[in-house]
Amino acid sequence: MRLREWDPRTAPQAELESWLRAYNDALSADLPDDPPWGIDRLRDYLTVTMPGERRLTWLAEDDASPGEVRGYGRMLMMSGLGVLELYVAPPARRRGVGKALLAAMADRAVVEGFTALGIEVGGGTAAAEFYPAQGFSHVYTETRSILDLSTVEWPHVAEMAAGVVHGYRIEYYPGDLPDDLLAAYAEAKQVRRHDPESDLDLRPSSYDAERLRSSLRCLQARGLKPYIVVAVHERTATVAGLTELVVPAQHPTRADQYDTTIVPEHNGYGLARAIKARMLLELRTAESQLRDVQTWHAAEREQLQQVNKELGFRPDREWREYEVDARDLAARLHAG
Ligand SMILES: CC(C)(COP(=O)(O)OP(=O)(O)OC[C@H]1O[C@@H](n2cnc3c(N)ncnc32)[C@H](O)[C@@H]1OP(=O)(O)O)[C@@H](O)C(=O)NCCC(=O)NCCS
């Protein structure tokens, strides 16, 4: 097996296709009900990052069939934290490929002065065995839930969307946010910033207008079409609640639900219910190819889980975050 650093920006199309085959093979072994990815906008997805962030990739290839990807490791370098992604194609597993890719990433993290490395994986999979075996600590658990759109009771969802109390207005923004809403929107997102229940921030979130704009541009440039629904408090013209979702060009039948936030003083008015229901109604026509929506939430966010349940989301599996000190990991991998 041969390891090399890989730049998807300039890689030949055949390498991207080989990457995709390895990715889909791994996906079908671990998460067989997840839709396979397609090649559409794949290069953009693998290449684009937020300003100030970098993503480095390593490939493992078979000596016997050069150019055939057997595994890859990607490290997104954010402020101080390296967020990892590591896949080995099923036929190449349990031969040390995962460890070798992890060592390449740990070494680079040390050289670049990154202290911590984090990763998220599905519970009950090989990865949930691999990371503890490499000395990672389990730091956080979420549940992934999936809404199968063919099971949705649309008249009920329409009722939920219509249940907006006096003094609030619901607005729908496909693709982008208008400039004059950015500051109020970013302010509403601040609410989650110091949320003790929030995770390692492995997923995108933006708390000021400029970063929010960059974040939306970054999503669009990666082929992830954002959809946003907000609840506006009419008297104060502030954003009382928001829900964000993306439809990825790489798997357009499954949407990813991102953040849903209600500013605490606007809790208790059914806003989460109304904005999430409105989002589904809009998606039904805007993205008619969609089959399901996936979302992740902490067990503690009970109110949101209640809304998800009413919409028809069903818990799918546990999702676990692991963290490790980069130096310790590098030292351990070289020792053993
Ligand atoms: C996790 C993964 C990268 C491991 O790759 P790998 O090349 O098989 O790992 P290695 O051969 O380097 O394994 C190193 C050690 O990890 C542990 N390990 C790896 N897979 C394991 C498994 N299925 N069960 C128990 N322990 C396991 C073992 O201690 C192993 O050492 P050993 O083979 O000498 O016993 C691979 O299984 C994978 O790609 N999984 C899917 C990754 C993913 O994130 N999917 C999406 C979300 S679930």
With contact defined as beta carbons under 8 Å apart, do 259 and 156 qualify? Answer: no
Looking at domain 2-143+320-335, its CATH class is alpha beta
Burial of 133 (0-12, 13-18, 19+ CB in 10 A): exposed
For residue 58, pLDDT beyond 90: yes
Q: What percent of the chain has pLDDT over 90?
A: 86
Confidence of residue 200 (pLDDT cuts 50, 70, 90): very low
**What is the whole-number distance in angstroms between the Cα of residue 26 and the centre of ligand 1?**
11
Q: Does this model's pTM top 0.75? A: yes
Ligand 1 mutation pick, 25, 84, 130, 317, max ligand atoms within 8 A of CB = 130
Q: Quickly tell me which residue has 């939430």 as its tokens.
A: 297
User: Quick one: pLDDT at residue 193?
Assistant: 65
Q: Which residue has the higher pLDDT, 209 or 133?
A: 133
The pLDDT tens digits for 97-107 are 999 999 999 99
Q: Where do the domains of the chain lie?
A: 2-143+320-335, 153-311
Does ligand 1 come within 6 angstroms of the Cβ of 34?
no
**What is the whole-number distance in angstroms between the Cα of residue 130 and the centre of ligand 1?**
4
Q: Quickly tell me which residue has 């208008």 as its tokens.
A: 178
For the chain, give the mean pLDDT: 93
Find the mean pLDDT for residues 241-263.
Answer: 96
Q: Find, among 68, 100, 65, 107, the residue nearest to 86 by Cα.
A: 100
Q: Do 2-143+320-335 and 153-311 agree at the fold level?
A: yes
With contact defined as beta carbons under 8 Å apart, do 325 and 333 qualify? Answer: no
**Could you give the CA distance from residue 184 to residue 173 in angstroms, rounded to a whole number?**
15
Ligand 1 mutation pick, 93, 256, 321, max ligand atoms within 8 A of CB = 93
Find the mean pLDDT for residues 28-49.
Answer: 97
Residues 6+ apart with CB under 8 A from 247: 224, 225, 227, 255, 283, 287, 290
User: Quick one: pLDDT at residue 102?
Assistant: 98
The pLDDT tens digits for 1-27 are 999 999 999 999 999 999 999 999 999
User: Quick one: pLDDT at residue 65?
Assistant: 85
With contact defined as beta carbons under 8 Å apart, do 83 and 75 qualify? Answer: yes
Confidence of residue 299 (pLDDT cuts 50, 70, 90): confident
Find the mean pLDDT for residues 160-186.
Answer: 96
For residue 336, pLDDT beyond 60: yes
User: Quick one: pLDDT at residue 80?
Assistant: 82
**What is the whole-number distance in angstroms between the Cα of residue 119 and the centre of ligand 1?**
14
Does ligand 1 come within 6 angstroms of the Cβ of 127?
yes
Cα 103 to chain centroid, rounded: 24
Structure tokens at 12: 């030949």
Q: Which residue has the higher pLDDT, 259 or 292?
A: 292
User: Quick one: pLDDT at residue 204?
Assistant: 47
**Could you give the CA distance from residue 182 to residue 209 in angstroms, rounded to a whole number?**
5
With contact defined as beta carbons under 8 Å apart, do 309 and 129 qualify? Answer: no
Report the nearest-CA residue for atom 4 of ligand 1: 98
User: Quick one: pLDDT at residue 195?
Assistant: 59
User: Quick one: pLDDT at residue 240?
Assistant: 97
Q: Which CATH number is correct for 153-311, 3.40.630.30, 3.40.50.1860, 3.30.70.270, 3.30.930.10?
A: 3.40.630.30
